[in-house]
Amino acid sequence: MSRYFTEDHEWVDVDGDIGIVGISEYAQEQLGDIVFVDVPEEGKELAKGDEAAVVELVKAASDVYSPVSGTVIEANASLGDTPGLVNEDPEGDGWFYKLTLSDPDELNELMDEIAYQAFVAKL
């Protein structure tokens, strides 16, 4: 499985034509305590850069954008009952949704983990 990152701190793990999307450790640290997560429904078509999910914080909300285009095939139902999973394990059990990639070439526009760490170090 390969992991790619955006400058907006979303990540996508890719295995064949399936991507699992979430936010980075850095992003959850910047956001603080997450109290609600709204993930996309199965079957929703997303284009790269579309608003895909929303995380609500104690006093604010933040959009999560789709790092790649595709069709949502599964939402992380665990986040409905336990939105804090995003804080506890943002790059693991705190994933948001899975999608079937419609344009794998879009991955070429994203950063690998080493490039992402270098990007975050400059912030």
Give the per-residue pLDDT at 1: 74
Question: From CA 64, how far away is CA 48, in angstroms rounded?
Answer: 11
Question: From CA 105, how far away is CA 63, in angstroms rounded?
Answer: 24
Tell me the whole-structure pTM to 2 decimals: 0.94
Among 11, 27, 1, residue whose Cα is nearest residue 115:
11
Task: Give the position of tokens 């199965």.
Answer: 42
Vertex 73: Cα angle to 83 and 99 (nearest 5): 85
* pLDDT < 50 positions in the chain: none
